[in-house]
């Protein structure tokens, strides 16, 4: 009897810290509601990265901090394809362009598409947001391809490294993609093309591996109307250069439209996946899901985190990067509206254009 009591007490203590959760455990609706209240950003600050000119569009922010300065990588589409750029900021509101870190090349698998995303950025909510080195290098994953146009052709995921992410220097790219739709182990949900990726460090090895990649992809199999759809899936690695798919089904999908562009934050013992949805209801909008193990996700069923409400995001409000700093939640996202395709910001507190952090 005493042994049963002790086991019960240990279980209760562990459960309070999330340690008793099993792989299959779902996140309760009360926890989901608490997370929603923590991450919601009802105040739209406005555009922080406008289009450089009418012929080029801005997309996909990744925000990190180094040496007391904020940096953002983002991609610019000029009609030919994607290149990756870098900006910096002292306050997360006003940004200064620094230059390109991934440019067009000739006769490579990724000649006209290089949409880069900084890897191994610290995921702790309200933490440092610094990118971690591995093997004395900083790392990026990127969407790559050789055909001209917007997300044209059969895309894949490339890996690149850099000695210094704070300067607009060209990164060093691996010669071939690490994940492709034509891989022998391609799944039914990623055997057509693969889009954006996010790589994080799994320090607790919840997945059994130190590095985890979340990516969105489209399979040859369509929905019940024959249309292709995008889902979020997962791959794992032990060395950042060799990747293998994990599981045989998507982590997040609606089997229609798009679920994509995951970003991970760790709030207490809960992992939060920010992502966007599109076309399984009108428009494009920001959502989230929660997990205790990085593999099994409970999808939020309540209101969107962000949806189109303003002239600058009236068409689409999507592709998140969310951080908390000095008590304020900053939700950067790709906005499409009257100002073209830009990067906008929503916050948990109302900020003036002169606000500093």
Domain range annotation of the chain: 24-347
pLDDT given at position 152? 63
The stretch 325-352 carries a mean pLDDT of 96
Of the chain, the end-to-end C-alpha distance in Å amounts to: 56
Average pLDDT, the chain: 91
| Predicted confidence (pLDDT) per residue in 87-145, tens digit | 999 999 999 999 999 999 999 999 999 999 999 999 999 999 999 999 999 999 999 98
In this prediction, what percent of the chain has a pLDDT beyond 70? Answer: 91
pLDDT tops 80 at residue 248: yes
| CATH architecture group of domain 24-347 | 5 Propeller (2.115)
Model confidence at 181, in pLDDT bands (50, 70, 90)? very high
User: Does residue 341 contact residue 334 with C-beta atoms inside 8 Å?
Assistant: yes
| Predicted confidence (pLDDT) per residue in 301-313, tens digit | 999 999 999 999 9
Model confidence at 356, in pLDDT bands (50, 70, 90)? very low
pLDDT given at position 353? 54
Beta strands 172-173 and 156-162: pairing type? antiparallel
pLDDT given at position 155? 87
Q: Structure pTM?
A: 0.91
Nearest to 83 by CA among 62, 63, 110, 64: 110
pLDDT tops 70 at residue 266: yes
| Predicted confidence (pLDDT) per residue in 22-65, tens digit | 445 899 999 999 999 999 999 999 999 999 987 899 999 999 99
In this prediction, what percent of the chain has a pLDDT beyond 90? Answer: 84
Sign of the alpha-carbon torsion through 146, 148, 152, 158:
positive
The stretch 278-289 carries a mean pLDDT of 96
The stretch 194-221 carries a mean pLDDT of 96
Model confidence at 1, in pLDDT bands (50, 70, 90)? very low
Per-residue 3-state assignment (H helix, E strand, C coil) for 100-137: EEECCCCCCCCCCEEEEEECCECCECCCCCCECCECCE
Model confidence at 8, in pLDDT bands (50, 70, 90)? very low
């Amino acid at each position: 009897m005493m042994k049963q009591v002790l086991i019960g007490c240990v279980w209760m203590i562990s459960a309070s810290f999330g340690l008793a959760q099993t792989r299959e455990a779902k996140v309760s609706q009360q926890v989901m509601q608490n997370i929603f209240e923590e991450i919601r950003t009802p105040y739209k600050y406005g555009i922080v990265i406008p289009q450089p000119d009418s012929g080029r569009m801005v997309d996909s922010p990744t925000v990190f901090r180094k040496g007391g300065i904020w940096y953002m990588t983002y991609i610019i589409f000029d009609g030919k394809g994607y290149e990756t750029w870098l900006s910096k900021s002292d306050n997360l509101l006003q940004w200064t362009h620094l230059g390109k870190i991934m440019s067009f090349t000739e006769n490579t698998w990724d000649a006209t598409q290089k949409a880069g995303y900084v890897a191994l950025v610290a995921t702790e909510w309200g933490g440092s947001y610094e990118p971690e080195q591995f093997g004395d290098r900083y790392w990026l994953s990127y969407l790559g391809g050789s055909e001209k146009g917007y997300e044209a052709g059969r895309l894949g995921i490339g890996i690149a490294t850099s000695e210094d992410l704070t300067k607009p220097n060209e990164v060093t790219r691996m010669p071939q993609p690490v994940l492709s739709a034509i891989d022998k182990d391609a799944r039914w949900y990623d055997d057509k093309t693969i889009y954006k990726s996010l790589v994080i460090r799994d320090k607790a090895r919840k997945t059994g591996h130190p590095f985890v990649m979340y990516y969105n992809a489209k399979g040859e199999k369509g929905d019940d109307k024959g249309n292709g759809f995008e889902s979020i899936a997962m791959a794992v690695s032990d060395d950042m250069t060799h990747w293998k798919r994990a599981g045989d089904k998507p982590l997040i999908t609606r089997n229609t439209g798009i679920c994509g562009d995951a970003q991970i934050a760790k709030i207490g013992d809960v992992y939060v996946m920010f992502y966007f949805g599109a076309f399984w209801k009108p428009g494009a909008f920001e959502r989230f899901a929660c997990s205790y193990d990085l593999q099994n996700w409970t999808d939020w069923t309540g209101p969107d985190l962000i949806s189109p409400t303003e002239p600058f995001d009236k068409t689409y409000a999507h592709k998140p990067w969310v951080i908390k700093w000095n008590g304020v939640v900053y939700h950067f996202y790709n906005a499409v509206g009257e100002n073209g395709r830009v990067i906008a910001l929503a916050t948990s507190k109302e900020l003036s254009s002169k606000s500093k952090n």
